[in-house]
Amino acid sequence: MPNKHAFEQTYQAFLTEFMQKETAYQEKITELQQAKNKLLAKFDFIQQYEPVVQELLLYYVGIHQDGEYGLRRRVDSGFRKTLEKKKIIHLNDEYIWEIHSLQDFAEQLAYRLKYGHAIQWDYEREMHRMRSNPIGASYVANEEDYKAIRNVTEETNQIEAQIKHLETELAALSGEKTQLQTELEANKRASILSFEEASIASDLMSERELLRHKEMQTLAMKWLYNQGFIVASEVVLPNKKRADVIGYNEGKTIIIEVKSSKEDYRQDHKWTEYLPYCDEFYFFLDFYAADQATIQAGYLQEQGRTLLITQQDTLSHECEQQDAIVWAIGRALSKKATFGWA
């Protein structure tokens, strides 16, 4: 029995550490993704241009510390003089080439591309200009004039690299968990004592996931309730499917499917059967799902004491049996009031 107790303590400690690391990684990934989207949102205007112009905009335009746009790389001095003359750019007191009109700057890039005029700064060409006409030569902007500009593309690349690194660590962590489970299964076949240990581990994991699932259900219910919805959990739908969390108001019905484990999420191939009974459908995950961008369902993520919509539901569906859903929710709430939750 002492061995059994020691095993239980060891495995309990492992699961606790695993969940803490997993949660920390997922929170950081979400934070980084939000930072990346915030950066890219500042360059949403480039979508109206041809791909080659978009690339040039991302290459030459940066974001200054006060949120303004500026040149982050040197352009051809003749091009720069044109931009200055048209009042599109200006060298401020911090020696930063501020861009006053991104629209005009993009149009000038497109124009020079069309007619084959120089855009990129070239050392030999600039030195030739200075040697040919030293008095009238234009000022050759120095690299120092661009260091105060935040490089949005490089920053975005750094964020993507951090996300990839965290996802790799998450995968390694899941690998450790899988390896431990494999070892437990091997021990289960090896001896009676190992069989007991494997059973303990399985029970502990199941209990932890169930508790976390319940916590997430409660959080989802509070989130809907605070938005003015009548809410219930574990509601049986007309097709006999059981909704983890469902709520309705005068305008719409929302179903939230709670997933506290990746395995449960991956094995759920019947979630589309919920769609005829709601106007919006969301997955509330306790982890980062790499495939969510390819699925048009909505996704929720825990943020503090509430939930954050990380992806809107863009699927085409609506609640086809509103009266039946309202009755089912009322029935579930009546059961709670009469018998309490089983």
Question: What's the pLDDT score for residue 135?
Answer: 54
Query: Which of 78-87, 142-151, 242-251, 296-305 has the lowest average pLDDT?
Result: 142-151
Specify whether the CB–CB gap between 36 and 160 falls below 8 A: yes
Q: Which residues contact 159 (CB under 8 A, 6 or more apart)?
A: 32, 35, 36, 39
Helices (H), the chain: 2-41, 51-60, 77-85, 102-115, 123-132, 152-190, 192-225, 262-267, 322-339
- What is the arithmetic mean of pLDDT over 323-342? 84
Q: How confident is the model at residue 192 (pLDDT cuts 50, 70, 90)?
A: very low
**Whole-number percent of the chain with pLDDT over 90:** 31
Question: What's the pLDDT score for residue 140?
Answer: 53
Sheet with 298-303, side-by-side order of all strands:
230-236, 242-248, 253-259, 280-285, 298-303, 306-311
The C-alpha atoms of residue 75 and residue 145 are separated, in whole angstroms, by: 12
> Position of tokens 């500042």?
42
- Which of 21-25, 45-49, 59-63, 268-272: highest mean pLDDT? 268-272
Query: Which of 108-112, 164-168, 174-178, 212-216 has the lowest average pLDDT?
Result: 174-178
Q: How confident is the model at residue 260 (pLDDT cuts 50, 70, 90)?
A: confident
Supply φ then ψ for residue 89, to 5 degrees.
-130, 160
Specify whether the CB–CB gap between 309 and 325 falls below 8 A: no
Residue-wise pLDDT for 287-299, tens only, equals: 888 787 788 899 9
Tell me what the pLDDT averaged over the chain comes to: 80
Q: How confident is the model at residue 111 (pLDDT cuts 50, 70, 90)?
A: very high
User: 229 is written with which tokens?
Assistant: 């919805």
